[in-house]
Amino acid sequence: MTVDPHTHSSISDGTQSPTELLRAARAAGVDVLGLTDHDTSAGWAEAEAAVATTGVSLLRGSEISCSASGISVHLLSYLHDPDDPVLAAELARARASRVDRARLMVERVAEDYPLTWADVEAQLEPGATVGRPHIADALVALGHVPDRSAAFASILSAAGPYYVRYYAPDVIAAVRAVRAAGGVPVMAHPFASVRGRVVAVEVIEAMADAGLAGLEVDHRDQSPAERAELRAIARRLGLFTTGSSDYHGAGKPNRLAEHTTTPEVLAAIEEAGRLPVVRP
């Protein structure tokens, strides 16, 4: 069984609709796909409808943007109740903050590069929440940069003059909210130092005390040494480990099933979650 539990559709910053994503998963030989769009479950219904036609089982989830002492942390939440009032309110606040932040970033970039809010909106799929990737796509379409990666490395860099922070809940509070909503919290790419600053081991320990279930270890943005350290931490804290593609369609070079999760870990996630995996 091939399980890829961390992917994104055009509802957040992927380039394929949930239906297209499941079709791509089928073509790549994926048996179980995790749809984990940023701060939303809006793509779940369409993905669920595609299960029967593609034969790919669906692990429903979201990737929650969090913060730990000013460091960005991403928390994967699997099989939670999307109507839980506390978690739903946090995700709604994060999405609203993303829009406000995107508008301000566009205003800043436009001072030096021809760019309008309409240019960014033209890159959005219906129902999607705007974010930096959509600004990047607009910059590509206008010819300012060759691709998303170049946009993030230059104009949209977190270290650059156009960057704007957005609301992100404290990661410990987020872990507790996911558990209260019946979800299974897994820390995404914890030691991906190529992305920027990473948290100290003490933060992971505190997350484990709050209910963290697992660590995403096998991910292209983590070196072999970082993965080995994470496996040791997971063993010590009694956490399971996952591997995934973090696939975004054409938005990133990541390929479906380039890293995968064992069926045993999938079973543990389903046993602990409030919702079942959607199967054909």
Q: Does the CA dihedral 224-28-40-10 come out positive or negative?
A: positive
Global pTM reads 0.93
**Who contacts 7 (Cβ-Cβ below 8 Å, separation ≥6)?**
14, 21, 25, 33, 34, 35, 36, 244, 245, 246, 247, 248, 256
Tell me the domains of the chain and their CATH numbers.
3-92+166-272 (3.20.20.140), 98-153 (1.10.150.650)
- DSSP codes of every residue in 140-157: HHTTSSSSHHHHHHTTT-
The C-alpha atoms of residue 179 and residue 80 are separated, in whole angstroms, by 8
Interior angle at CA 270, CA 266 and CA 275, nearest 5: 140
CB 183 within 8 A of CB 79: yes
80-84 own/partner pairs: CB under 8 Å, 24+ apart: 80/178, 80/181, 80/182, 80/183, 80/184, 80/273, 80/274, 80/275, 81/181, 81/182, 81/183, 81/274, 81/275, 82/41, 82/44, 84/177, 84/180, 84/181, 84/182
The C-alpha atoms of residue 61 and residue 73 are separated, in whole angstroms, by 16
pLDDT (tens place) for every residue of the chain, 280 residues total: 999 999 999 999 999 999 999 999 999 999 999 999 999 999 999 999 999 999 999 999 999 999 999 999 999 999 999 999 999 999 999 999 989 999 999 999 999 999 999 999 999 888 788 899 999 999 999 999 999 999 999 999 989 999 999 999 999 999 999 999 999 999 999 999 988 899 999 999 999 999 999 999 999 999 999 999 999 999 999 999 999 999 999 878 999 999 999 999 999 999 999 999 999 9
